[in-house]
């Protein structure tokens, strides 16, 4: 006798969830240990919205240097040890160099044009090779004149506007990155081109909020036609606007080259990244198998990677100086000994400044800007490590915060101690007496050797390591050398400094930092003024971006299009670079990045569109169970 339909339906209603539960339990037993997950939601309820990397560090102490966090039904393996990160992400980089799947941000918005979201493969290798071609040691030498000029301008601006040091750091790094990318400087963070870049970054941050876009959990929904899915049409529209803005910036450089070629009296065009790429493409078109759109994303990628991060590191350096006795005195003693009071430090002096070099490395270690290691990696095939099973498509997160503060490698890790990275005999540096008397610090002799030659893990690992690491380090070195040479940086009376009071975002910096910055003497002031005049002679050849040059149409992710960028309300610093709740790492944000983005293997075939209606209903039911307060957040339009 045939069973009633309702009996069959009830059987499936029991068997399917039971099968899922059995599968997850068996997988859970084979993965590295970690906090016990709940069915369907995993460990989402345990991840705090404020400074989640601190919780991740606590879990590493409890469960070990490699453990598993479940975000929904998807596991994320968290690495909190430098050797393990090196063994997996560098020595086995062939297996761990791809990315999780980013449907909304990567596939719909960027159409996979950005190197940030590209899975490991031919497309990514082409972009990486082209980006590296403009960041070679020879190219980095060409950029040093720019970095010296901009750091001299920073020192001059601090003479009259020291209270706004953070905004001046932002302008410095933005100008360096834009000039290196396109050959034009930035004079004001409110300039149209910078405002537009910041708005693009703000919108991209919002694309990763869990619950906002169901397509992250059910990628088949991306194949719905635009008239059924207006949210997708809006994302694609904004993606086209960013792509067009990127192409306009490339056209600016093309126009510069063309104009210089027509005039015998024209100044030479700055050898920017875009100029180098354009010239190389002309010589060897076959090496550039990219559309104009995809080509334009290569120089554009530098702004998000190298502007805010370096400015944030400079802010952390200021915090370290005002909270660690002896640091300022030791650095100034070295600079006075090597440089003297009559000129600014130059890149040629860096080799003679071992304490300064050590100080810069310690800043990068002490407070890594990308606390959770930047964009996560993913495994491209099944693997086994130390008896644990790592299935294909697993999200791999290198916790830079925990790695850089691991006491096995850095004794007393919360203490800011440049002697950890001193690469010469400390007895040969008599000025270290200031450091030793004030801080009672000792070198890092008892710590384990770090597998990375830099001694820290702040720039990532393996094939996905930050391509602009040397560029950022050079900016940090020359800027800090000149700040410490020319200025006394002191704590503001009455302020109690908390060295853990940092912003809550992908890239962190001290929250509301205030320090006192004063020129050391009239002699130093005169040198700064003189060097500023010389620097501006160089910088005047790098004209600033203008509205007429770009003919920009400013786009606000939340308020639509403003056709006249000069009349648009300027973005505030807080709203622009760490712009709203959409750019803050919350529980929902982590779930998006490490769980929903990894819902499918990055190498899996595209899902078929058949039976979309049942999938959509199932998606709604699961979304209701997974999102806060049992309701899914509708995408803003």
What tens digit of pLDDT does each residue of 532-549 get?
Answer: 999 999 999 999 987 777
- The pLDDT tens digits for 360-373 are 999 999 999 998 88
- The pLDDT tens digits for 115-125 are 999 999 999 99
Kindly give the pairing relationship between strand 388-390 and strand 383-385: antiparallel
For residues 212 and 240, which has the higher predicted lDDT (pLDDT)? 240
For residue 620, the SS3 value is helix
How confident is the model over 251-257, as a mean pLDDT? 93
Q: List residues forming the annotated binding site for heme.
A: 466
Residues 6+ away with beta carbon under 8 Å from 188: 171, 194
User: How high is the pLDDT of residue 27?
Assistant: 60
User: How high is the pLDDT of residue 445?
Assistant: 47
User: How high is the pLDDT of residue 28?
Assistant: 55
Residue of 472, 484, 511, 490 lying closest to 364 (CA atoms) = 472
| pLDDT confidence tier of residue 352, bands split at 50, 70 and 90 | very high
- Supply φ then ψ for residue 119, to 5 degrees: -70, 160
How confident is the model over 73-92, as a mean pLDDT? 93
How confident is the model over 64-73, as a mean pLDDT? 87
pLDDT at 573 over 50: no
Token duo for residue 544: 């600033």
User: How high is the pLDDT of residue 21?
Assistant: 59
User: How high is the pLDDT of residue 408?
Assistant: 94
Arithmetic mean of pLDDT over the chain: 82
For residues 621 and 227, which has the higher predicted lDDT (pLDDT)? 227
User: How high is the pLDDT of residue 434?
Assistant: 63
pLDDT at 166 over 90: yes
For residues 484 and 303, which has the higher predicted lDDT (pLDDT)? 484
For residues 111 and 612, which has the higher predicted lDDT (pLDDT)? 111
CA angle 455, 590, 210 (to 5 degrees): 155
Question: How many angstroms separate the CA atoms of 116 and 303, rounded?
Answer: 12
For residues 343 and 428, which has the higher predicted lDDT (pLDDT)? 343
pLDDT at 52 over 50: yes
Question: How many angstroms separate the CA atoms of 277 and 530, rounded?
Answer: 35
How confident is the model over 437-462, as a mean pLDDT? 75
Least confident span in 308-312, 362-366, 600-604: 600-604
- The pLDDT tens digits for 133-145 are 888 899 999 999 9
DSSP line for 145-207: HHHHHHHHHHHHHHHHHGGGHHHHHHHHHHHHHHHHHHS-B-S-TTSHHHHHHHHHHHHHHHT
For residues 383 and 44, which has the higher predicted lDDT (pLDDT)? 383
For residues 10 and 207, which has the higher predicted lDDT (pLDDT)? 207
User: How high is the pLDDT of residue 13?
Assistant: 63
- The pLDDT tens digits for 195-232 are 888 889 888 877 865 556 778 777 888 999 999 989 99
CA angle 504, 194, 293 (to 5 degrees): 100
| pLDDT confidence tier of residue 623, bands split at 50, 70 and 90 | very low
Please state the separation of Cα 327 from the chain's center in Å. Answer: 27
| pLDDT confidence tier of residue 192, bands split at 50, 70 and 90 | confident
**What's the N-to-C CA distance of the chain in angstroms?**
54
Token duo for residue 154: 């920073």
pLDDT at 25 over 70: no
Q: List residues forming the annotated binding site.
A: 466
Residues 6+ away with beta carbon under 8 Å from 289: 126
For residues 269 and 212, which has the higher predicted lDDT (pLDDT)? 269
CB 218 within 8 Å of CB 609: no
- The pLDDT tens digits for 384-443 are 999 999 999 999 999 999 999 999 999 999 999 999 999 988 888 888 876 654 544 554
Q: Select, from the ranges 211-220, 412-421, 551-560, 598-607, the one with the highest average predicted confidence (pLDDT).
A: 412-421
- The pLDDT tens digits for 461-471 are 999 999 889 99
The structure's pTM equals 0.83
Q: Give the percent of the chain with pLDDT over 70.
A: 79
Residues 6+ away with beta carbon under 8 Å from 71: 42, 43, 44, 590, 591, 594, 595, 596
For residues 541 and 304, which has the higher predicted lDDT (pLDDT)? 541
CB 608 within 8 Å of CB 220: yes
Question: How many angstroms separate the CA atoms of 351 and 332, rounded?
Answer: 16
| pLDDT confidence tier of residue 26, bands split at 50, 70 and 90 | low
Question: How many angstroms separate the CA atoms of 379 and 71, rounded?
Answer: 17
Separation in Å, CA 308 to CA 157, 210, 239, 508, 557: 19, 25, 22, 9, 19
Least confident span in 17-26, 125-134, 191-200, 419-428: 17-26
User: How high is the pLDDT of residue 627?
Assistant: 37
Residue of 239, 258, 47, 117 lying closest to 598 (CA atoms) = 117
Question: How many angstroms separate the CA atoms of 571 and 552, rounded?
Answer: 16
Residues 6+ away with beta carbon under 8 Å from 59: 34, 35, 67, 69, 78
pLDDT at 262 over 90: no
Question: How many angstroms separate the CA atoms of 152 and 148, rounded?
Answer: 6
Kind plus residue range of the DSSP H or E element containing 490: strand 487-491
Question: How many angstroms separate the CA atoms of 569 and 564, rounded?
Answer: 10
User: How high is the pLDDT of residue 169?
Assistant: 97
Question: How many angstroms separate the CA atoms of 369 and 400, rounded?
Answer: 9
For residues 274 and 444, which has the higher predicted lDDT (pLDDT)? 274
For residue 77, the SS3 value is strand
């Amino acid at each position: 006798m045939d069973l009633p339909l309702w009996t069959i339906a009830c059987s499936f209603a029991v068997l399917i969830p039971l099968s899922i539960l059995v599968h997850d339990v068996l997988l859970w037993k084979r993965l590295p240990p970690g906090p016990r997950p709940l069915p369907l939601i995993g460990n989402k309820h345990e991840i705090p919205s404020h400074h989640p990397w601190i919780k991740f560090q606590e879990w590493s102490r409890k469960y070990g240097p490699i453990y598993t966090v479940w975000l929904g039904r998807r596991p994320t393996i968290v690495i909190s040890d430098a050797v393990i990160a090196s063994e997996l992400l560098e020595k086995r980089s062939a297996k761990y160099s791809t990315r999780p799947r980013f449907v909304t941000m990567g596939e719909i918005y960027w159409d996979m044009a950005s190197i940030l979201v590209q899975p490991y493969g031919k497309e990514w290798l082409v972009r990486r090779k082209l980006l590296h071609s403009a960041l070679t040691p020879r190219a980095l030498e060409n950029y040093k004149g720019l970095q010296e000029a901009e750091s001299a301008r920073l020192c001059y601006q601090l003479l009259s506007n020291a209270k706004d040091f953070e905004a001046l750091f932002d302008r410095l790094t933005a100008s360096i990155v834009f000039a290196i990318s396109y050959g034009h400087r930035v004079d004001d963070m409110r300039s149209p081109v910078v405002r537009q870049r910041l708005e693009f970054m703000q919108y991209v941050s919002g694309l990763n909020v869990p619950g906002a876009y169901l397509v992250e959990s059910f990628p088949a929904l991306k194949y719905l036609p635009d008239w059924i899915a207006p949210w997708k049409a809006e994302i694609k529209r904004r993606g086209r606007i960013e792509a067009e803005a990127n192409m306009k910036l490339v056209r600016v450089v093309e126009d510069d080259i063309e104009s210089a070629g027509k005039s015998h009296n024209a100044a030479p065009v700055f050898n920017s990244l875009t100029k180098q790429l354009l010239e190389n493409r002309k010589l060897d078109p076959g090496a550039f198998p990219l559309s104009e759109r995809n080509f334009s994303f290569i120089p554009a990628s530098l702004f998000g990677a190298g502007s805010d991060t370096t400015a944030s590191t400079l802010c952390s350096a200021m915090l370290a100086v005002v909270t660690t006795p002896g640091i300022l005195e030791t650095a100034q003693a070295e600079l006075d000994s090597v440089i003297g009071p009559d000129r600014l430090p130059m890149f040629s002096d860096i080799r003679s400044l071992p304490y300064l070099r050590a100080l810069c490395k310690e800043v990068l270690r002490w407070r890594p800007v990308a606390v959770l290691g930047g964009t996560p990696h993913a495994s491209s095939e099944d693997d086994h490590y130390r008896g644990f099973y790592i299935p294909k498509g697993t999200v791999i997160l290198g916790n830079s915060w925990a790695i850089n503060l691991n006491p096995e490698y850095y004794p007393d890790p919360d203490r800011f101690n440049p002697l950890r990275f001193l690469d010469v005999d400390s007895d040969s540096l008599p000025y270290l007496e200031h450091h030793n008397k004030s801080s009672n610090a000792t070198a890092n002799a008892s710590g384990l050797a770090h597998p990375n030659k830099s001694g820290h893990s702040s720039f990532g690992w393996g094939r996905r390591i930050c391509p602009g690491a040397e560029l950022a380090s050079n900016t940090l070195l020359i800027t800090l050398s000149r700040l410490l040479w020319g200025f006394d940086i002191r704590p503001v009376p009455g302020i109690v400094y908390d060295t853990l009071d940092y912003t809550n975002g992908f890239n962190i910096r001290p929250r509301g930092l205030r320090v006192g910055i004063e020129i050391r003497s009239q002699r130093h002031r005169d040198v700064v003024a003189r060097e500023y005049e010389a620097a501006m002679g160089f910088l005047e050849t790098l004209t600033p971006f203008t509205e007429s040059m770009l003919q920009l149409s400013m786009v606000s992710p939340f308020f639509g299009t403003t056709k006249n960028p000069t009349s648009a309300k300027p973005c505030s610093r807080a709203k622009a670079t760490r712009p709203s709740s959409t750019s803050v790492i919350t529980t929902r944000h982590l779930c998006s990045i490490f769980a929903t983005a990894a819902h499918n293997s990055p190498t899996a075939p595209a899902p078929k569109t058949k039976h979309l209606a049942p999938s959509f209903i199932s998606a709604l039911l699961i979304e209701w169970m997974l999102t806060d307060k049992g309701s899914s957040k509708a995408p803003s339009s």
